[in-house]
Amino acid sequence: DTVQVIGSAWRPHFNKPIAEALHANAVRVGMPPWDDKDQTLARAVQVMMGRPDSGLHTSVAPLRSPEEAAKASTGTGSDDIGDVTWTVPSVTLYYPANIPGTPGHNWADAIAMATPIAHKGVIAGAKVQAMTLLDLMLRPKLMSDAKDYFANVQTKTTKYRPLMAPTDQPATWLNAEKMAKYRDQMRTYYYDPSKYETYLKQLGISYPTVPMRAP
């Protein structure tokens, strides 16, 4: 029988030495300078989604071990980041460019992307990423520690074997009908930086426009 694999995902295991270096840089950079408008929008969206109105985080979260992260997780990634972490020493930087508490892969996740919240978060994340890259280039011990952890801790007893075969192709046909239906309609909402300073101005939305309830 012929079997087609649609997708697979290993649970990620991130590199401890690199994660510690990255977290130290995140603490050095700190959280973005949120203003009252940012916090007002964040709390309003949280209320709209039935979540605690805690607003945007103002401090960097503690670094968690793989075991702690696994306990807090309800699943694994829907992309190949887990497979990547078992192939090469890797970390993931969660920079503060979105509103805490919104459900993943949901329309509410897209609200912040058109606002200063996302811009400020991306700038902070880029600084942390650049600093960590410099650490890897300028601190030979960090590089050797990362390789040692990968070889003698992470993959000492667990060996990576991909479920996907080299001949497997992305299942782009799954969304072909939807994309054919909505692609042209989406073009109306593409951002045109040649005409507008920000996407909010293109949409004609004042910041912050506070939602009252979910549609």
Q: What is the pLDDT of residue 211?
A: 66
Residue 208 DSSP label: S
Contacts of 22 (CB under 8 A, 6+ apart): 91, 93, 128, 129, 132
Buried b (16+ CB within 10 A) or exposed e, 144-166: ebbeebbeeebeeeeeeeeeeee
Residues 83-132 pLDDT 10s: 999 999 999 998 899 999 988 788 899 999 999 999 999 999 999 999 99
Residue labelled with tokens 């950079």: 29
The percentage of residues in the chain with a pLDDT greater than 90, rounded to a whole number, is: 69
For the chain, the domains span 16-203
Q: How confident is the model at residue 184 (pLDDT cuts 50, 70, 90)?
A: very high
Q: What is the pLDDT of residue 196?
A: 95
HSE, side-chain direction, 13 A CA sphere, residue 28: 13
Q: What is the pLDDT of residue 197?
A: 93
Q: What is the pLDDT of residue 67?
A: 76
How far is residue 108's CA from residue 214's CA, in Å, rounded to a whole number?
9
Residue 103 DSSP label: P
How far is residue 136's CA from residue 7's CA, in Å, rounded to a whole number?
32
Higher pLDDT, 11 or 181: 181
Using only C-alpha atoms, the chain has a radius of gyration, in whole angstroms, of 21
Q: What is the pLDDT of residue 90?
A: 95
Higher pLDDT, 79 or 17: 17
Q: What is the pLDDT of residue 76?
A: 57
Our measurement of the distance from residue 115's CA atom to the centroid of its chain's CA atoms, rounded to an integer in Å, reads 17
Mean pLDDT rounded to a whole number for the chain = 90
Q: What is the mean pLDDT of residues 24-37?
A: 97
Residues 41-88 pLDDT 10s: 999 999 999 999 999 999 999 998 877 877 776 565 567 888 999 999
HSE, side-chain direction, 13 A CA sphere, residue 22: 23
Our measurement of the distance from residue 35's CA atom to the centroid of its chain's CA atoms, rounded to an integer in Å, reads 22
Q: How confident is the model at residue 168 (pLDDT cuts 50, 70, 90)?
A: confident
How far is residue 215's CA from residue 212's CA, in Å, rounded to a whole number?
9
How far is residue 76's CA from residue 82's CA, in Å, rounded to a whole number?
8
